[in-house]
Amino acid sequence: MNYNTKRRIASLLAVPALLFTGACGSDSSNDSAAGVAEVKGKVGEKPEITVPKDAKPADKTVVKTVTEGSGTEAAKGDFVRLDYTVRKWDDPADLGGTWSAGGAGQPHRQLVDRVGQPSQMLPPKVLDSVEGQKAGSRVLIQGTAGDLLGKSLNPQSGITAKDTLLWVVDVAGAAKVDAKAEAKGEQAAPEAGMPTVVAPSQKPATITIPKGEKAPTELKEQVLIKGTGPKVEAGQGLIAQYTGVKWEDGQKFDSSWDHGGATGFQIGTKSVVEGWDKGLVGKNVGDRVLLVIPPALGYGADPSNQLAKNTLVFAVDIVGAV
């Protein structure tokens, strides 16, 4: 189980993205003749999607670069931070997306995915379309639900396999980070009352809870290794190695090393537990951070979560940002 607060899969999907398969094709026909949607608006703002009047949608999947950015090019295996929206050809209603209103002056929630890896929200054929695109680009993916979603189409969604879906994806950022990266440097001794961390290379950390110490009722944090990279800002995609244990019994409940290495998630937008947002924004790439998170800043708001009553202890290596 990932520590990350799991985002809801869009209602048109029946199963997790792990079961999606396939790669996107493209069609270079004239838009008006082929029946391809038109997309207007600035990258970074919700797009305006219109379809040609009285036209039938193209019968092939279309991948079209609407706006070409000038940032880092996203290659297979790279981490990307994305915005998206999806609708039907014949119905302008939103079926899902990231352009929801956020707090004044606050970044909104976006997806952080890895090109070529399973996504929580995007079918592989949609996520694969950003490969080769530069940060700042906007991409239209148009195709039938049967082609884009396949067997993962939820029959209860009201969408049929023949319905044409329109996805617009903005590449907000892209970064190449080694999935085996880890913090390097001399590790500080734990502060009084804090757990000890032994982090063998390429393996989950061993975190030992201090004997006789009660779990703190407030967030506790300590930078164990000081990195030299840029400061992490709210709204960025943070790429990290982590190991988490329960204060109550010291048992490990999750580690990125058990899932293939570094994982990406957005920070500072309530996309992860509050203790991560509070404890990791403002830290630096290259830091190893020890966090002790009371239930109120962990999973305490979700009584159904098996960790709802636990104080969580994490050793986090910040290995990149996007």
Q: DSSP strand E in the chain: where?
A: 38-40, 48-50, 62-67, 79-88, 91-97, 111-114, 138-144, 164-175, 196-198, 206-208, 220-225, 237-246, 252-255, 263-266, 288-293, 312-321
pLDDT at res. 238: 97
- pLDDT, tens only, 219-234: 999 999 999 999 999 9
Residue 91: other Cβ atoms inside 10 A: 11
Supply the Cα-derived Rg of the chain in whole angstroms. Answer: 21
Q: How far is CA 111 from the centre of its chain?
A: 4
CA–CA gap between residue 283 and residue 318 (Å, rounded): 8
pLDDT at res. 155: 83
pLDDT at res. 132: 98
- pLDDT, tens only, 62-77: 999 999 999 999 999 9
Q: How far is CA 303 from the centre of its chain?
A: 24
CA–CA gap between residue 149 and residue 12 (Å, rounded): 9
Residue 109: other Cβ atoms inside 10 A: 16
Residue 134: other Cβ atoms inside 10 A: 16
Which residues have a Cβ under 8 Å from the Cβ of 18 and sit 6 or more positions away? Answer: 118
Do 284 and 228 contact (CB within 8 A), yes or no? yes
Nearest CA-CA partner of 55 in 76, 25, 78, 30:
30
pLDDT at res. 26: 42
* Mean pLDDT of the 295-306 span: 95
Residue 125 has pLDDT above 60, yes or no: yes
- pLDDT, tens only, 140-196: 999 999 999 988 888 888 899 999 999 999 999 999 999 999 999 999 999 999 999
Residue 95: other Cβ atoms inside 10 A: 18
Tell me the β-bridge partners of 139.
65, 169
- Sign for the CA dihedral angle at 319, 226, 191, 282 comes to negative
* Burial tier of 32 (Cβ tally within 10 Å: 0-12, 13-18, 19+): exposed
CA–CA gap between residue 313 and residue 318 (Å, rounded): 16
pLDDT at res. 106: 75
